[in-house]
């Protein structure tokens, strides 16, 4: 059983678009998140799979019925923060406010405890491990925010590849998105843009290796906007950003279908926290 996770944000909220889209314009942009999450819920139901939805408080506040549909379908509701601010760009007080606001809002709307958090853009690393203390103090049980790879925007390549407790044996559980170890380097194996850019067989091989050779559950993620080839195309962005965001959107739904067929998927809390 592997853990399937969805980072619930809309296309205009991705970090790579931050220099091009003013936050003040978010409410005026066409929001497509409901359509896309409902598509994902339908796919999960067809395959009798469960998932964890790391949901932005900004989205939940505007679409409370969507939050309830996620919970009513049996999935885990978790936090992606409120305003999609990188943890690495906030002060401890700002971060504490963001994660507390999001947790309280999601719990009120979803009617269940919110135990998990994922930082936007995996923005917890060596320079801001204080964020984990903030999460524990706010009542979170686990984080999935430290990605043990090298990347131009995030990553802590020397961090453990599998579940660990950075704050000690009684502390918060950190659950990294999956990687494979090849020639002394950690390579991404848990979805995101790599899942769209590389052939599907690459991800299938990596997850099978994690399950069989490492004997571990995989942790995979994607975004609702990645299943939406009809989303507006942002003008004036660089080629690298354009490739990362738009390439193979039209293939994503079929790839998720194959992923759900080839592996068994469950919620993060069920797999890693059990009934505790």
What rounded mean pLDDT belongs to the chain?
95
pLDDT of residue 275: 44
Q: Averaged over 191-203, what is the pLDDT? A: 94
At 252 the pLDDT is 97
Sign of the four-CA dihedral 153, 157, 224, 248 = positive
pLDDT of residue 274: 77
184: left (phi over 0), alpha (psi -120 to 50) or beta: left
Q: CA dihedral defined by 209, 214, 219, 220, rounded to 10 degrees?
A: -10
**133-153: per-residue pLDDT in tens?**
999 999 999 999 999 987 666
Query: How far apart are alpha carbons 26 and 46 in whole angstroms?
Result: 33
Q: What is the mean pLDDT of residues 24-40?
A: 97
C-alpha dihedral, 73 to 75 to 76 to 81, nearest 10°: -80
pTM of the model: 0.96
Residue 276 has what pLDDT? 43
Cβ neighbours, 10 Å, residue 64: 14
pLDDT at 244: 87
Domains of the chain: 2-273 (3.20.20.370)
Which is it for strands 179-182 and 185-188: parallel, antiparallel or unpaired? antiparallel
pLDDT of amino acid 60 = 98
| pLDDT score at 254 | 97
Residue 207 has pLDDT above 70, yes or no: yes
Q: Which two tokens mark 133? A: 């203390």
Q: Would you state the pLDDT for residue 184?
A: 87
Report which of 90, 101, 89 is spatially closest to residue 55, judged by C-alpha positions. Answer: 101
Q: Which residue has the higher pLDDT, 276 or 75?
A: 75
Is the confidence at residue 236, as pLDDT, over 90?
no
CA-nearest of 152, 148, 150, 182 to 163 is 148
Give the model confidence (pLDDT) of 74-85 as tens digits. Answer: 999 999 999 999
CA gap 46, 42 in Å, rounded: 6
What gap in Å lies between CA 60 and CA 79, rounded to an integer? Answer: 10
pLDDT at 63 exceeding the cut of 50 = yes
**Token output for 113:** 């405890």
Tokens standing for residue 218: 């995989």
How many CA atoms are closer than 13 Å to the CA of 196, on its beta-carbon side? 21
């Amino acid at each position: 059983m592997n853990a399937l996770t969805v980072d619930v944000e809309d296309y205009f909220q991705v970090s790579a678009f931050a220099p091009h889209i003013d936050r003040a314009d978010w409410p005026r942009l066409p929001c497509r998140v409901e359509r896309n999450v409902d598509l994902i819920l339908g796919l999960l139901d067809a395959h009798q799979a469960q998932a964890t939805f790391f949901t932005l408080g900004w989205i939940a506040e505007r679409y409370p019925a969507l939050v309830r549909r996620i919970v009513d379908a049996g999935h885990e509701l978790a936090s992606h923060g409120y305003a999609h601010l990188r943890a690495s760009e906030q002060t401890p007080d700002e971060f504490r406010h963001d994660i507390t606001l999001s947790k309280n809002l999601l719990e009120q709307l979803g009617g269940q405890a919110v135990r998990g958090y994922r930082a936007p853009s995996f923005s917890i690393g060596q320079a801001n491990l204080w964020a984990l203390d903030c999460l524990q103090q706010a009542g979170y049980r686990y984080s999935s925010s430290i990605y043990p790879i090298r990347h131009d925007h995030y990553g802590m390549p020397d961090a453990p590849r599998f579940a660990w407790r950075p704050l000690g044996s009684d502390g918060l559980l950190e659950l990294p998105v999956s990687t494979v170890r090849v020639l002394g380097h950690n390579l991404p194996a848990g979805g995101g843009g790599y899942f769209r850019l590389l052939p599907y067989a690459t991800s299938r091989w990596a997850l099978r290796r994690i399950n069989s050779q490492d004997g571990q559950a995989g942790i995979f993620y994607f975004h609702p906007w990645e299943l939406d080839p009809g989303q507006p195309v942002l003008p004036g962005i660089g080629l690298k950003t354009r490739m990362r965001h738009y390439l193979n959107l039209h293939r994503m739904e079929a790839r998720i279908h194959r992923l759900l067929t080839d592996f068994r998927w469950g919620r993060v809390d069920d797999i890693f926290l059990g009934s505790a």
